[in-house]
Amino acid sequence: MFQTLFAMYPTLQETMLALKQGRTTSVALTEAALEKAKNPAGEGKRVFTKLYEKQALAAARASDTLRAAGIFRSPIDGIPISIKDLFDVQGETTLAGSMARIGEPAATRNATVVQRLLTAGAVIVGRTNMVEFAYSGLGINPHYGTPLNPWDRSKARIPGGSSSGAGVSVTDGMSVAAIGSDTGGSVRIPAALCGIAGFKPSACRVSTDGVLPLSTQLDSIGPLAASVRCCATLDAIMSGLDITSDAQWQAAQLKGLRMAVPKTVVLDQMDKHVQVTFEKALDVLKLAGMEIEEIDVPEFSQLAEINAKGGFSAAEAWAWHRDLIARAGNKYDPRVLSRIMRGQTMTAADYIDLLGARKSWIRAVEKRVLPYDGLLMPTVPVVAPTVEEVTSSDEAYFAINALMLRNPSFINFLDGCALSIPCHEPGTAPVGLMVAGLNGVDSQILAIGMAIEDLLRARY
């Protein structure tokens, strides 16, 4: 059952405090997460493609032993965390939500992000389900099932994707936080639709070594969790930053911040609930002293034409998948396969033109955005539709998918960073407020996001 905003999910900080005070143990947390994941009446069978029950419990026991000896590895030591089925784990084949990779060679080492989580003492409970090969923002997976959104579950609404299982693993208590990937919104979309926080860092911030690619130009790795502070903690660990300093987890001062709301495209096709919720959130921020201006960003209206031949995702996915498609193309989700196949017709000249167009586009957008501390926009313009709505036809699927990806993908193409923060009133459909910035201002956006989150928590 979907509960109330900000009152439903434990944060990393709350969980760590409970561990330090002896009110719980890592083993107890892990057993509870696994129990929920294995519950036949729950979403676990659709949330996870693989559970690490034995390994997770062993890691939890080790964490409890170290804590008893006064050894504290990190702010996530002993806490259950899930990883998207896109990251290499030594000795396993990375399936990426597909049947086509069954039997492919196993990974010889852990992905960098996985290793950093393990080194920090995270208890990895399992691999989460996803859109096959991360190529959609809806969360539909015909091979392993589609986890259902926690909101209005009786109507079987989509969780958002591609990090679908990641989002639901957090909302359903199967992990305290989750790690996903974001190529066009695949962390922020499920965060927005499921009512949690999600962070897409600047692409170069977190290593993609050992992560099965969708687009090497656009891929980024980010967390989904109960709060912005949770996301900041995980981002610091995955980025290899100094986690002994508290400075990176301090909120900004909202008064005097100058933020821009792009009028071009991003406010189009909003449903009434998202529109009203977004406008109320802006009013709250203005009352707190934030200066918010609506601006034109005509470059946003040009992006569809720039990507008309398929964009980086199609070109780079085709380059990676062509041999696998030749061997096992009949095992792909047809809707994913059709998008990959668009890259087959793109030429080297098309790709080079796209690289040049992106550089010019980024320069133009940066010129408009530089006077501001960040951008504000709805993460997605509509509430979560039902699985039936999006799978009723190919036309419906691709139209809704394009709408879901539209706003988040601007930031990926910009090579920027962005948060999705819940901004809906308690008991209503989840709505995400996207707080975005240019490349490299990740710490600033996280600090602004913390301040916004604190304000909304106080209000709701």
In contact, 146 and 159? CB cutoff 8 Å:
yes
3-state secondary structure of 108: coil
Distance (Å) of CA 241 to CA 14, 200, 448:
22, 16, 19
Compute the half-sphere exposure of residue 42: CA atoms within 13 Å on the CB side of its CA: 18
Per the listing, tokens 């793109």 go with: 346
The 8-class DSSP code of residue 386 comes to B
DSSP 11-56: -HHHHHHHHHTTSS-HHHHHHHHHHHHH-TTSSHHHHEEEE-HHHH
**CA angle centred on 67, ends 63 and 73, rounded to 5°:** 70
Distance (Å) of CA 261 to CA 279, 285, 415, 419:
11, 12, 18, 15
CA 308 to chain centre: 25
In contact, 281 and 453? CB cutoff 8 Å:
no
In contact, 431 and 456? CB cutoff 8 Å:
no
Please tell me the distance from the alpha carbon of residue 316 to that of residue 334, in angstroms, as a whole number. 18
Catalytic hit among 26, 162, 175, 409: 162
- Taking residue 194's Cβ as centre, other Cβ atoms within 10 Å add up to 30
Alpha helices in 329-347 (DSSP H): 334-341
Query: Is 162 one of the catalytic residues?
Result: yes
**CA angle centred on 443, ends 441 and 446, rounded to 5°:** 110
Query: Is 186 one of the catalytic residues?
Result: yes
The pair of three-digit structure tokens given for residue 95, joined into one six-digit string: 């399936």
Per the listing, tokens 């009203």 go with: 276
Catalytic hit among 74, 186, 202, 215: 186
Catalytic hit among 26, 36, 63, 84: 84
Name the residue type at position 436: A
Please tell me the distance from the alpha carbon of residue 401 to that of residue 94, in angstroms, as a whole number. 25
Active site residues: 84, 162, 186
